[in-house]
Structure 1
Amino acid sequence: MARIGYARVSTLDQDLDHQAERLKAEGCSVVRSEKVSGGSREGRTELDTIIAFLRPGDELVVTRLDRLGRDTRDVLNLVHECEQREAHLTVLDPHVSTRGEMGHVVLTVLGMVAEMERRFIRERQREGIERAKERGAYKGGRRRIDREKVRQLYSEGISAIQIAETLGCSRMQVYRIVAG
């Protein structure tokens, strides 16, 4: 029976150290982490790896539910996948586990709250952008990646992985830029 930790942050400039330290302090023998949005399961290869290797009696541990996902359906699907492998899910803040029946109910409610919070954030962000546009203060987000440089390197035959490492972005961003 292993305790496996999963840490996630949404952006490249955020720090995973605090989550990883907390998971190790909680007895996780393995901690996998990634920097990718929690809005969906797409691109979350570390989480997929953990799920694929869960054995009966193992426990997937996250510091907070929103580290696992921000969509109720995704969270419930993850719980279901863990259960199919006869493994458990534990959230540290607030402490909830799927070992008991109440854990399922609490996780469902917390998942719905996380999803609602995500919608509120998007709504406030959209309203703020609209107000800024009305004042003429909004110019749009700044591009973090030199798209022309990506296209140039790609046309020179450099792999997407090498471009991503060189420019400090994800491989998927390289593919999106090249395709667009």
Structure 2
Amino acid sequence: MLVGYARTSTLEQEAGLEAQVRDLKALGCERIFSERVSSIGRRAELEAALDFVREGDVLVVTKMDRLARSVRHMWEIVGRLQAKGVGLNIVNLGIDTTTPTGKLMMTMLGGVAEFERDMMLERQREGIAKAKSEGKYKGRPATIQTKADEINALAAQGMSMGKIAAQLGIGKGSVHRTLTRGNSRSPRSS
């Protein structure tokens, strides 16, 4: 079964959503999930489509940016589809993962994305090293150290680590590390 997914970001893009739905119907999609939501928002219809598809189905989108907000997100979706035995067809790129060529193209896209990410991280490391050598980079301040007195005071009052973490807006692990480093009396962990 061909299952379509269409998305636009705003109400003003109504014509774009209608065009996507029309194109998906023309391609033979028997079921179409569509929504108007930002790519960074919660996309209930995308989740519904991913839950709906079954082994042997193909999820069809007109463009990659209608489906995923980043290449990393795309690979998460592809992984979920592959785990269910579902193919992916990205119409404007001519990618259909049910074919050997389509699988190759997705793999190449993933390789390029990984290369770009590695290059960005390398440039970031170089920039940090340069800033450190010039004395301009000190790193992120250890915020937990500024809260150590509060953590110890709350622990002395008998408050649990979970409640301390919630009250101060920090992780329970940070509370635990602070208390064990200071050899304070550890409160209950719940």
TM-score category of the 2 structures, normalised to the smaller one: 0.5 to 0.7
Q: CA RMSD in A?
A: 2.2
Which ranges of structure 1 fall in alignment gaps of 5 or more residues? 117-180
Deviation, 1:101, is 4.2
- Superposition pairs of residues 30-179 of structure 1, within 5 angstroms: 30-38=31-39, 40=40, 42-107=41-106, 109=109, 112=113
Structure 1 consecutive aligned stretches of length 4 or more whose deviation exceeds 4 Å: none
Q: Deviations over 1:98-144 (max 9, x none)?
A: 113442442352894xx99xxxxxxxxxxxxxxxxxxxxxxxxxxxx
Distance 2:86 2:104 in 1: 17
Q: Deviations over 1:137-161 (max 9, x none)?
A: xxxxxxxxxxxxxxxxxxxxxxxxx
Percent sequence identity over aligned pairs: 37
The one-letter code sitting in structure 1 at the alignment partner of 2:7 is R
Give the secondary-structure state (helix, strand or coil) at the position aligned to 1:14.
Answer: helix
> Given the two structures, how large is their TM-score scaled by the length of structure 1?
0.56
Give the secondary-structure state (helix, strand or coil) at the position aligned to 2:34.
Answer: strand
Paired residue total: 111
**Structure with greater proportional helix content:** 2
> Given the two structures, how large is their TM-score scaled by the length of structure 2?
0.54
Distance 2:72 2:3 in 1: 22
Distance 2:85 2:97 in 1: 11
Deviation, 1:12, is 1.9
Which ranges of structure 2 fall in alignment gaps of 5 or more residues? 118-190
Higher relative contact order (CA 8 A, sep 6+): 1
